[in-house]
Chain A
Amino acid sequence: MNQKYEAVIGLEVHVQLLTKTKTFCGCRNKFGSPPNTNVCPVCMGHPGILPVLNKKVVEFAVLLGLATNCEINKRSIFARKNYFYPDLPKGWQTSQFELPICEHGFIDIVKSDGLEKRLGITRIHMEEDAGKLIHDQGTDSLIDLNRCGTPLLEIVSEPDMRSAEEAYLYLVKLKQIVTYLGICDGNMEEGSLRCDANVSIRLKGEKKLGTKTEVKNMNSFRNVEKAIEAEIDRQIDIIEDGGKIIQQTLLWDADSGDVKPMRSKEESHDYRYFPEPDLMPVLVNDDWRKSISESLPELPEHRKKRFIDKYKLPEYDAELLTAEKPVADFYEAVLNTTDDFKSASNWIMGDVLKIINERKIKIEDFPVSPENIGRLINLINEGLISSKIAKEVFPVLLDENKDPRTIVEEKSLLQISDDSFIEEVVGNILGNNMDQVKQYLDGKEKVIGFLVGQVMRETKGKANPAAVNKILKEKLEAFR
């Protein structure tokens, strides 16, 4: 970015809620069903239907409000946002306008330079999603109303972000929060979390805001960052060339890596918002708010701090393990079987996440149970196998997921701690390597590593390394 300018960015994020049923009717809120199977007269907008608010949607909204430090409005109202589109059966989207359920919150981020920044949230409101148009099957456009009426929360940020990186970090943090709350799966690629960005630039030190544009159609977290960068560059180029920014909506094109204006006809809306007469105001009294706040799960920041305090993990480990709730859950599940906090962390950050990335699976689908990971760690700590043997057991576990002790026994991998047997092997090794013995006696003690290796080779890695070291030293010293 040109250093003369600073960017001013605000995000509008929509999250799809993981409720069992839709916002205003009893239809299932389920992705991937055959078209128009999760529908009823209410979500199809038939004459005479009326909405009845799903209580869970309010609870999820309040949860997110509490988790993002918002004020929860005791009374909020729904409004009709009117526009014509074939995926919108009633001719309006039921949303909130004047009095949203949550306001004035914030999220803290830590930037790559280590500096913390607080980013404001203007409001969070409840609304319903529209259906889906399908254009690629034959000459007609088709409509699938399964998604119609499914619940969304829209989170509107303050224009507090000053770079694409900040916007990216805000979005990642928000995803982390909604997934921790269990109210949304946060999958941008599948559209369960969607983001539009409002971007403007101004000279550094300038107080007045520049003309903003809205950037849409970004379907991954990194694309949000890239699209905002591209838009900032585009605006700087225009200003540098003496031009003016036009207020408009732009679409991000991930293939070409730039933003393109939407046709102006599509954005000239007057939504004619007015209070929805078919729904009563949403009242969240102190008791309800209290019972919702009691169901608030532990949030990522707190969990990270707890991992550091309770499990004595380095900050790096704690950050990585708590970034995604299922990973943190897996870690703590491993701790049900072992007390070796750090080893558990090492195993997850290393071997487990490596497999997950390679196989592109979720940790929930990881083939080895946390219990068996814990048992494996215990086998090492009890001296029954070496770390090296453990690395051999692990691939077997991936295929079989059974008690690692059984695998070790079946494959005769149990560590040999029988001193007399080790003494015999050591005796033979020393006898065959008298040159190395002489070097040792001459003070080149490093050669002991070679000798240990020979013993381990002879025992196929099963000899207890501590015992081997001890016996080797004793025998070598006996040569003096």
Chain B
Amino acid sequence: MLQYKTHSQKLNLIKNGKLSLTENVEYFRDSINKNADLNAFNFVFEEVVEESRKIEEKIHDGKYGKLAGMVIAVKDVLALKDKPLTCSSNILKKFKSIYTATAVQKLLDEDALIIGKTNCDEFAMGSSNENSARGVVKNPVNTEFVPGGSSGGSAAAVAAGLCDASLGTDTGGSIRQPASFCGIYGFKPTYGRVSRFGLTAFASSFDTIGPFARSVDDISLLLQVISGKDKYDSTSSDKEVPDFLSEYQNATKLKIGLPQEFFSDGLDPEIRDILYDYISKLKTDGFEIIDIHLPHHEYSIAAYYILTTAEASTNLARYDGVRYTTRSGKKDDLINMYTNTRSEGFGDEVKRRIMLGTYVLSAGYYDAYYAKAQKVRRLIQKDFFDAFEKVDVIITPTSPFTAFKLGEKTSDPLQMYLSDIYTTSANLAGIPGINVPVGSAGNGLPIGMQILANQFEELKLLRLSSYIESNYLKNEVV
């Protein structure tokens, strides 16, 4: 059992000699082994035990980085030099990255310990972590249920206490939804806030990297470390990064918007009731609650799947068997080598999205699908910009339902896609969002609240989350 809730508490324990970092790392390693049935990790790095001694020395010498001693897992779509990068796909089964992702390097630069790489849906495509060539991940709260996806391994690892925190990626909800299913905090930053360099692309104009943690404090700390302009990512923003860590506790009475479209049909009534409870508490505490509309919301899933599959279909073209991908053993001519390699290497969901994306970009269909979806994307973005003229943040459910059973939705891709109904619009609009674990349903499964803010207003999300955490969730440590 861990003696701390936040990284600053952990650091103090180490400094005071009440916690041995090496023992802590060994504890995590053993926990991972004991919980092997969760299948949260694709790879565990034994050498962190050795590295922990060096970091511990640094801490005692008083010269250490912001994340010194924090044990972090990273999703297996993020590059770490000389380590496997499989994206939970057979096509990259034997691939090792030759460089390190900027976000991961920033963790290392602050003396974090990377304990391993976590399982996920293949190339981050999925909402349940059932599309992994390395097997399904189970929800630590109840192992008959999915952990959500695509960052299911990163969420499960934090929820099960197999590490202090983790990095995931969020293209349409892949951080927020599994955080909600597993009952932890998961943060999707503004598009451009965190460098994507070293993040294996699924949908380039949607992909973001963000942290999972068990406290707003750790979320703020991690966000602080990984944010900022990167010369290797032209789409990263040079907007100044606020001092999240010292400023998030300055609670201000924010104006909260409730979009009616997110509380209507299809939402589990249990989730709706719990969210309304919190909203009335906030109202009582002096927060202004305003009903708002996001009129183009109903088109978000359609636009999302057209645009993301279009980008994915070309992003995944490089896995062709020519260079580093696992090539089909069948000897044949070039075209058949491509066909065999990709038929054998990709899973069904990835193939489905490549075909869909290839179709919507094809001559004669581009205008009807891709170009139209781009217009819808701008309208959805405008809905949010208009809403944020009136309110500071928007509260919605993170998911229309709590975690579902393993295998329950695998035969129906459309049902699976609807898991993302409340999360994709933030990626379409490029805005930040957080999942706050606000309680559990009658079946014991976690319920998540999503809070959204305008682009580059992450601080508002952290402030409200922190307010909820410190005022309403004190006794609900996961």
- Knowing that A48-B85, A92-B314 touch, tell me 16 more A-B residue pairs with CB under 8 angstroms: A46-B97, A46-B99, A47-B85, A47-B318, A48-B101, A48-B196, A49-B198, A50-B197, A50-B233, A52-B231, A89-B318, A91-B320, A143-B322, A143-B323, A272-B314, A272-B366
A272 to B317: give the CA distance in the assembly, Å. 12
Asked whether A320 is an interface residue with its Cβ less than 8 Å from the other chain, the reply is: no
* 18 A-B pairs (CB sep. < 8 Å): A41-B99, A44-B323, A47-B77, A47-B87, A47-B95, A47-B200, A47-B201, A48-B77, A48-B97, A48-B101, A50-B235, A53-B234, A84-B338, A86-B334, A89-B323, A143-B322, A274-B366, A278-B235
Q: Which residue of the partner chain, among A46, A52, A91, contacts B317 with CB atoms under 8 Å? A: A91
Q: Across the interface, which residues of A come within 8 angstroms of B118, CB to CB?
A: none
A277 to B197: give the CA distance in the assembly, Å. 13
Q: Across the interface, which residues of B come within 8 angstroms of A86, CB to CB?
A: 320, 322, 334
A126 to B196: give the CA distance in the assembly, Å. 24
Distance to closest chain B CB from A289 (angstroms): 21
Query: Which residues of A, 119-173, contact B by the 8 Å Cβ criterion?
Result: 143
Query: Which residues of B, 272-326, contact A by the 8 Å Cβ criterion?
Result: 310-311, 313-314, 316-318, 320, 322-324
Asked whether B470 is an interface residue with its Cβ less than 8 Å from the other chain, the reply is: no
Residue pair B370, A270 in contact (C-beta under 8 Å): no
Distance to closest chain B CB from A45 (angstroms): 5
Closest B residue by C-beta to A270? B363
Query: Which residues of B, 49-70, contact A by the 8 Å Cβ criterion?
Result: none
Q: Across the interface, which residues of B come within 8 angstroms of A280, CB to CB?
A: 234-235
Asked whether B72 is an interface residue with its Cβ less than 8 Å from the other chain, the reply is: no
Asked whether B358 is an interface residue with its Cβ less than 8 Å from the other chain, the reply is: yes
Asked whether A80 is an interface residue with its Cβ less than 8 Å from the other chain, the reply is: yes
Asked whether A82 is an interface residue with its Cβ less than 8 Å from the other chain, the reply is: yes
Asked whether B32 is an interface residue with its Cβ less than 8 Å from the other chain, the reply is: no
Residue pair A49, B338 in contact (C-beta under 8 Å): no
Main SS class of interface, B: loop
A132 to B81: give the CA distance in the assembly, Å. 27
Tally of chain B residues near chain A (CB < 8 A): 44
Query: Which residues of B, 156-211, contact A by the 8 Å Cβ criterion?
Result: 196-201, 203-205
Main SS class of interface, A: loop
Q: Contacts A91-B318, A92-B314, A143-B322 hold; do A48 and B231 have CB atoms under 8 A apart?
A: no
Residue pair B200, A278 in contact (C-beta under 8 Å): no
Closest B residue by C-beta to A141? B334
Residue pair A277, B87 in contact (C-beta under 8 Å): no
Q: Across the interface, which residues of B come within 8 angstroms of A47, CB to CB?
A: 77, 79, 85, 87, 92, 95, 97, 200-201, 318
Residue pair A82, B314 in contact (C-beta under 8 Å): yes
A51 to B232: give the CA distance in the assembly, Å. 7
Name the residue among B197, B322, B338 with the largest chain A CB count within 10 angstroms.
B322
A89 to B197: give the CA distance in the assembly, Å. 17
Closest A residue by C-beta to B317? A91
Q: Across the interface, which residues of B come within 8 angstroms of A50, CB to CB?
A: 196-197, 232-235
Query: Which residues of A, 382-404, contact B by the 8 Å Cβ criterion?
Result: none
Q: Across the interface, which residues of A come within 8 angstroms of B87, CB to CB?
A: 47
A318 to B85: give the CA distance in the assembly, Å. 63
Residue pair A82, B317 in contact (C-beta under 8 Å): yes
Residue pair B232, A52 in contact (C-beta under 8 Å): yes
A52 to B197: give the CA distance in the assembly, Å. 11
Q: Contacts A82-B314, A143-B322 hold; do A278 and B204 have CB atoms under 8 A apart?
A: yes
Closest A residue by C-beta to B196? A50
Residue pair A91, B101 in contact (C-beta under 8 Å): no
Asked whether A353 is an interface residue with its Cβ less than 8 Å from the other chain, the reply is: no
Distance to closest chain A CB from B313 (angstroms): 8
Query: Which residues of B, 383-441, contact A by the 8 Å Cβ criterion?
Result: none
Q: Contacts A48-B198, A49-B197, A274-B361 hold; do A80 and B322 have CB atoms under 8 A apart?
A: no
A183 to B26: give the CA distance in the assembly, Å. 59
Asked whether B267 is an interface residue with its Cβ less than 8 Å from the other chain, the reply is: no
Distance to closest chain B CB from A359 (angstroms): 44
Asked whether A452 is an interface residue with its Cβ less than 8 Å from the other chain, the reply is: no
Asked whether B362 is an interface residue with its Cβ less than 8 Å from the other chain, the reply is: yes
Residue pair B97, A91 in contact (C-beta under 8 Å): no
Residue pair A52, B318 in contact (C-beta under 8 Å): no
Asked whether B73 is an interface residue with its Cβ less than 8 Å from the other chain, the reply is: no
